[in-house]
A and B are shown apart, each in its own frame.
Chain A
Amino acid sequence: MKKMNNKGILTWWASFAILVQVQIGIGILSLPRDVHNIAEGDGWISVLLAGLTIQLFVTVIWLLATRFNSQTLYEFAPKLVGKYLGRLINLAYSVYFLSMVFLTTLLFTDILKRWVLFKTPHLVIYVLVIGVAYYLAKDNIKVIARFYTFTAIFVILLIFILVPALVSFDIRFVLPVGQAGMNNIVKGIEEVTNSMLGFELLLVLFPFIDERYRRYSIVLAANGFVTILYTLIVFITITVFSPAEIKLIPEPVLYMLKSFQFDLVERIDLLFMSVWFVSIVTTLVMYLYVASFGITTILKRKSHAQVVAWCALLIITVLFIAEKDIYGIDNYVQALSNSSYLFIFVLPLILLSLSFIRKERGK
Chain B
Amino acid sequence: MFNIFSKKNKEKNAFKNETRPYQTKSVSDQTLSNDLHKNISIIKESFADTADLVCKTINWNGKSGFLLYLETLVDNELIENHIIKPIKQAQEQPIMEVITALDLKESMKLPDVVQALTSGFCAFLLPKSSKVTLIKVSKQNNRPPEEPFNEQVIRGAHIGFIEDLNTNINIIRNQVQNPKLKVEYITLGKTVSTKVAIMYFDDLANKELITKVKERLQSISADIIQIPGYIQEYIEDRTYSPFPQTLNTERPDRLIANLMDGRVGIMMNGTPTCLIAPSTLISFFQSPDDYNGRVMIGSFYRFIRVFSFFVTIGLPALYIAVVSFHYESVPVELLFAIKSSLEPIPVPPLLEAIFMAVTLELIREATIRLPNPVAQTIGVVGGLVIGNAVVDANLVSNMMIIVIAITAISSFIMPSTEMSTTIRLLSFPLMLAAALFGLIGIVIGFLIIVIHLCKLESFGSPYFAPFGPLRWKELKDTIIRFPTWMLNSRPKDAQAVYRTTQAENPREWDEKNE
Contacts and interface: CB of A to CB of B under 8 A. Distances in A.
**Is B one of A's binding partners?**
yes
Given A117-B437, A274-B440, A135 B451 contact: yes
Contact of A149 (B443, B455, B470): B470
Interface stretch (A53-61, A139-147, A194-202): A139-147
A116 interface: yes
B430 to A, nearest CB: 13
A281 B447 contact: yes
A266 interface: yes
A281 B454 CA distance: 15
B459 to A, nearest CB: 14
Contact of B326 (A139, A149, A270, A278): A270
Interface string B416-456: 00000000000000000000011110111001101100110
A277 interface: yes
Interface string A269-306: 01001100110010000000000000000000000000
B468 interface: yes
A132 B329 contact: no
A146 B439 contact: no
Contacts of B343: none
Given A116-B439, A146-B469, A149-B470, A267 B328 contact: yes
**Which secondary structure dominates chain A's binding surface?**
helix
Given A143-B454, A274-B442, A267 B326 contact: yes
A120 interface: yes
Contacts of B462: 146
Interface residues of A, number: 33
Nearest to A264: B331
B470 A13 contact: yes
Chain B interface size range? 20 to 34
A293 to B, nearest CB: 18
Contacts of B326: 267, 270
Contact of A120 (B331, B437, B454, B468): B437
Interface string B314-347: 0000000000011011110010000000000000
A50 interface: no
Contact of A152 (B329, B440, B447, B470): B470
A117 B440 contact: yes
A277 B447 contact: yes
Interface in A203-238: none
A35 interface: no
Nearest to B329: A267
B440 A266 contact: no
A150 B328 contact: no
Given A143-B454, A146-B462, A132 B330 contact: no
Given A132-B448, A143-B455, A146-B469, A112 B331 contact: no
A277 B445 CA distance: 12
A263 B328 CA distance: 13
Contacts of A263: 331
A177 B451 CA distance: 45
A109 to B, nearest CB: 11
Interface in A87-144: 112, 116-117, 120, 128, 132, 135-136, 139, 143
Among A116, A150, A281, residue most surrounded by chain B Cβ atoms (within 10 Å): A150
Contacts of B437: 117, 120, 128
Contact of A150 (B440, B468, B472): B468
B161 interface: no
Interface centre among B442, B468, B472 (most CB of A within 10 A): B468
B301 interface: no
B320 to A, nearest CB: 15
B328 A266 contact: yes
A117 B464 contact: no
10 pairs of A and B residues whose beta carbons are closest in the complex: A150-B468, A149-B470, A146-B468, A267-B329, A146-B454, A147-B454, A274-B443, A277-B443, A146-B469, A136-B451
27 contacts: A112-B440, A116-B325, A116-B439, A128-B437, A128-B440, A132-B444, A132-B447, A132-B451, A136-B451, A136-B454, A143-B455, A146-B464, A146-B469, A147-B450, A147-B451, A147-B468, A150-B467, A264-B331, A264-B334, A265-B329, A266-B329, A266-B330, A267-B328, A273-B439, A274-B443, A277-B444, A278-B447
Given A146-B454, A150-B450, 16 more contacts: A128-B444, A132-B444, A132-B451, A139-B455, A146-B464, A147-B450, A150-B467, A150-B468, A150-B470, A153-B470, A264-B331, A267-B328, A267-B329, A274-B440, A274-B442, A277-B447
